[in-house]
Amino acid sequence: MFSFAAYSYPKSESFKEILFSSVIAGISIYLFLIVFQPFGTENFHHPYKYLLLFPYSIIFGGAFFLAGCSTIHFKEWNIGSELLKITAILFSSSIVSYFYNILFISHVTASFENYLYMFLYCLAVGIPISSIYILSRYIYLKTIHEKEADQISRHLADHSVSTENKDQQKLFISANNTKLEIQENHFICAQSMENYCLIYFSEYDQVKKLMIRTSLSHLLEQVQTDSIKRCHRSYIINLNRVKSLKGNAQGYKLSLPEIDFEIPVSRSFISTIIPKLQS
């Protein structure tokens, strides 16, 4: 159970995406209420019945939007985090829905018992819709990323060219007492390791490693070129050395023949990295 909750989940990383998903969630709640009319809704008779039910969609969609905006800057996100966010959405929605109900619809006396009923109603409606949202978004992103990764991998295989004949600039890397001078095409990648960076580069057709005491941001200032880019908070990569690409719901992973691990592409860097690989 805990291992499942720790599995990485792709959170929304733009206000446009959060707004769109919030509108869809709110509309889904409204459609559920008017189509199935649960919890005695079918016995509620009013000339403006459907108009009075519409604010519930605004309440749920608004809670969804605020929760998404409050978590947009979180770096680590997993299924457990997403479930906690959904729980907070349902809890806050139940409170606002309760006061809307007693003020404009049922006009019942405010009590904890009446709120408990509203909270259970929100759970009964919100959990199925939230589950569908989580699953459908995961499947959609997984399908899109896998398809695009396959296309780019074929493109890289069909247009594989040597970088040795291209005009290459020299990279001058220095940190503390360490100095390294290499050709741009000899740089493979760099990995952040707390206060250090591990640099992978080729020398006489062999892969070398060099650990230097510096931040990844400072290293990027020294090595960034048209082909050497940051693709993750912990990685810098030479895109000319990428040979294949894998896609999943979280994003993409880059494969280089010189190293035995895959390098992830953060969703915030997809708009920078993917077009470069496609060109």
Q: What are 199-258's pLDDT values in tens digits?
A: 999 998 899 999 999 999 999 999 999 999 999 999 999 999 999 999 988 789 999 999
Q: Which domains does the chain have, with CATH numbers?
A: 15-157 (no CATH), 170-278 (2.40.50.1020)
CB neighbours of 102 closer than 8 A, spacing ≥ 6? 108, 109, 110, 114
Tokens of 266: 């953060």
Report the C-alpha gap between 186 and 189 in whole angstroms: 10
- DSSP letter for 76, please: -
Residue with tokens 């649960």: 38
Q: Token pair for residue 185?
A: 């095409």
Q: Residue 269 corresponds to which amino acid?
A: F
pLDDT of amino acid 92: 96
User: With contact defined as beta carbons under 8 Å apart, do 181 and 251 qualify?
Assistant: no
Helix axes 15-36, 112-158, angle to 10 degrees: 130
Tokens of 187: 């740089």
Contact (CB, 8 A) for 132 and 36: no
pLDDT in tens, 108-124: 888 999 899 999 999 99
CA–CA separation, 194 vs 207, rounded Å?
23
pLDDT for the residue numbered 80: 87
* Residue 208 token pair: 């070398």
**Each residue's pLDDT expressed in tens, for the chain with a length of 279 residues:** 456 677 778 878 788 889 999 999 999 999 999 998 887 788 888 888 999 999 999 999 999 999 999 988 887 788 889 889 999 999 999 999 999 999 988 888 889 998 999 999 999 999 998 888 888 888 888 898 899 999 999 888 876 655 554 566 899 998 888 889 999 999 999 999 988 999 999 998 899 999 999 999 999 999 999 999 999 999 999 999 999 999 988 789 999 999 999 999 987 888 889 999 987
Residues near 216 by beta carbon (within 8 Å), at least 6 away in sequence = 190, 192, 197, 230, 233, 234, 235, 236
Say how far apart CA 200 and CA 223 lie, in whole Å. Answer: 12
Collapsing DSSP to helix, strand or coil, 223 comes out as: helix
